[in-house]
Amino acid sequence: MNKNITCPEILAPAGTLEKLKVAIRYGADAVYIGGQAYGLRSRAGNFSFEEMEEAVAFANEHGAKIYVAANMVTHEGNEKGAGEWFRTLRDIGISAVIVSDPALIAICAAEAPGLAIHLSTQASATNYETLQFWQKLGLERVVLAREVSMQELAEIRKHTDIEIEAFVHGAMCISYSGRCVLSNYMSMRDANRGGCSQSCRWKYDLYDMPFAGERKSINGEIPEEFSMSAVDMSMIEHIPDLIENGVNSFKIEGRMKSIHYVSTVAMVYKKAVNAYLESPASFEAIKQELVDELWKVAQRELDTGFYYGIPDENKQLFGARRKIPEYKFVGEVISYDENSGTAIIRQRNVINEGDTIEFYGPNFRHFETTIQNLRLAETGEKIDRAPNPMELLIIDVPQAVETGDMIRRSGAGLINLYKKEGKVAMANGTH
């Protein structure tokens, strides 16, 4: 292992204040959020200035940082008010802004000195000359384009000492690092100004059109539905390559994901980094456990993006899913009573008496048990089924849990879907 390497930051997404606090509790060293202007996720739970103040205070208490994405492409007039907006972020205590548009970069540098600027992946930085260019302009960090290979990453690191942030987990864009106009055509929503309708995720059909005006679907002859959607990225098995090649920040995609997703993925990558920095052998010993843990959250199929070659047709989503998780997030711990061995939980999905569940918490704590003595927290009434979201319940637990621990209902593991003699078959097993 390279003795000169440093511990990379785990950078998690947060679409809401709740998700931000969960991400930090579960291991994120930094969290990126959106404000109510200049971002690319108009449908995410973007933060008001008051929420940012609370987020910064919470992050400071836990030794974490907050970054704000301001990565839209500005047209004439979009930049109005940006100087005041950036100064407000600086004064609130935001650690850095993530920007792609040179106009916004110039405004931020001139009107909000002291606020660090990180280059967004939207700027498509793919070579070390580009990183050197932005470093000379005063930027502290560059988020690499998702299209950079591991070999290119190594070459970039050899020629520059600017901080490098790289995506390690989450959705891939079918276009070039998010520079897409498909949504503009399909739904009149500008993907580069916060309105992406994710047209690439839609299902499409093939049609036979032998004569003008006639259209006949051939869906019956070709069973797969077609999309332009890429599988998600997961670099959990390749943490050593990323660390050894000098990546300073491991970025997880997903500001619109659930607290179940954010907590699990942040926890797993934090555990992976700590294990590898302890020793390569420590990482290898838990690698499969880390992979299995990631497959407990809802996501698309996983691969390594462009890091080890250009993705082929097998790295696209079409037809039946080949792997799906069989775990569902069902609740979180509100409090634990050591004397009675019971926990008050807030339910998020249906819970039944006798369900097999797994508790998990920060630092990779987890154990399985069954729902026993299920009852309503308000009245103590015993029930067999709790169907109402956000209801407070009491259950018996065989060992101590902590406030903020998560609960998921487990099944028989992963279901692998595969094609056999023209049919889709199902089999339990691991990936």
Instruction: State the SS3 of 234-278.
Output: ECHHHHHHHHHCCCCEEEECCCCCCHHHHHHHHHHHHHHHHHHHH
Condensed to tens digits (0 to 9), the pLDDT of residues 239-287 reads 999 999 999 999 999 888 899 999 999 999 999 999 999 999 999 999 9
Q: Which residues, listed in sequence order, are joined to residue 11 by a DSSP beta bridge?
A: 30, 251
Q: Which two three-digit tokens encode residue 309?
A: 């070659």
State the pLDDT confidence band at 211, using cuts at 50, 70 and 90.
Answer: low
Phi, psi values for residue 376, rounded to 5° = -75, 135
Work out the average pLDDT over 296-308: 87
Q: Would you say residue 32 has pLDDT above 70?
A: yes
Work out the average pLDDT over 218-224: 59
Report the residue count for the chain.
Answer: 431
Phi, psi values for residue 241, rounded to 5° = -60, -45
Q: Specify the higher pLDDT residue, 367 or 212.
A: 367
Q: Which residues, listed in sequence order, are joined to residue 9 by a DSSP beta bridge?
A: 249
Q: Which two three-digit tokens encode residue 59?
A: 């992050």
State the pLDDT confidence band at 208, using cuts at 50, 70 and 90.
Answer: confident
Q: Would you say residue 324 has pLDDT above 90?
A: no
Q: Which two three-digit tokens encode residue 402?
A: 């902590």
Work out the average pLDDT over 76-102: 94
Q: Can you give the pLDDT at residue 227?
A: 66
Domain boundaries, the chain: 9-172+230-315, 327-410
Q: Can you give the pLDDT at residue 40?
A: 60
Q: Are 192 and 179 within 8 A, CB to CB?
A: yes
Q: Would you say residue 412 has pLDDT above 60?
A: no
**At residue 64, what is the residue type?**
A
Q: Can you give the pLDDT at residue 188?
A: 78
Give the angle 377-380-383 at the CA atoms, nearest 5°: 90
Q: Would you say residue 195 has pLDDT above 80?
A: no
9-172+230-315: which CATH number, 3.20.20.70, 1.20.120.1080, 3.40.50.720, 3.10.20.90?
3.20.20.70
State the pLDDT confidence band at 224, using cuts at 50, 70 and 90.
Answer: low
Handedness of CA 387, 391, 396, 400 (dihedral sign): positive
The rounded Cα 169 to chain-centroid distance in angstroms is 6
State the pLDDT confidence band at 181, using cuts at 50, 70 and 90.
Answer: confident
Work out the average pLDDT over 325-340: 92
For 335, residues 6+ apart whose C-beta sits below 8 A from its C-beta are 343, 344, 403
Strands 406-410 and 385-386: unpaired
pTM, 2 dp: 0.87
Q: Can you give the pLDDT at residue 323?
A: 67
**Three-state SS string across the chain, please?**
CCCCCCCCEEEEECCCHHHHHHHHHCCCCEEEEECCCCCCCCCCCCCCHHHHHHHHHHHHHCCCEEEEEECCCCCCCCCCCHHHHHHHHHHHCCCEEEECCHHHHHHHHHHCCCCEEEECHHHCCCCHHHHHHHHHCCCCEEECCCCCCHHHHHHHHHHCCCEEEEEEEECCCCCECCECCHHHHHHCCCHHHCCCCCHHHCCECCEECCCCCCCEECCCCCCCCECCCECEEECHHHHHHHHHCCCCEEEECCCCCCHHHHHHHHHHHHHHHHHHHHCHHHHHHHHHHHHHHHCCCCCCCEECCCCCCCCCHHHECCCCCCEECCEEEEEEEEEEECCCCEEEEEECCCEECCCEEEEEECCCEEEEEECCCCEECCCCCECCEECCCCCEEEEECCCCCCCCCEEEEECCCEEEEEEECCEEEEEEECC
d(CA 223, CA 221): 6
Strands 327-337 and 342-347: antiparallel
Work out the average pLDDT over 56-76: 94
Q: Which two three-digit tokens encode residue 325?
A: 């998780």
d(CA 235, CA 323): 17
Output the CA–CA distances (angstroms, integers) from residue 384 to 11, 389, 393, in the order listed. 40, 15, 12
Q: Are 328 and 264 within 8 A, CB to CB?
A: no
Q: Would you say residue 312 has pLDDT above 50?
A: yes
Q: Would you say residue 83 has pLDDT above 80?
A: yes
HSE-CB at 429 with a 13 A cutoff on CA atoms is 9
137: left (phi over 0), alpha (psi -120 to 50) or beta: alpha
Architecture of 327-410 per CATH? Beta Barrel (2.40)
d(CA 385, CA 222): 42
d(CA 74, CA 190): 11
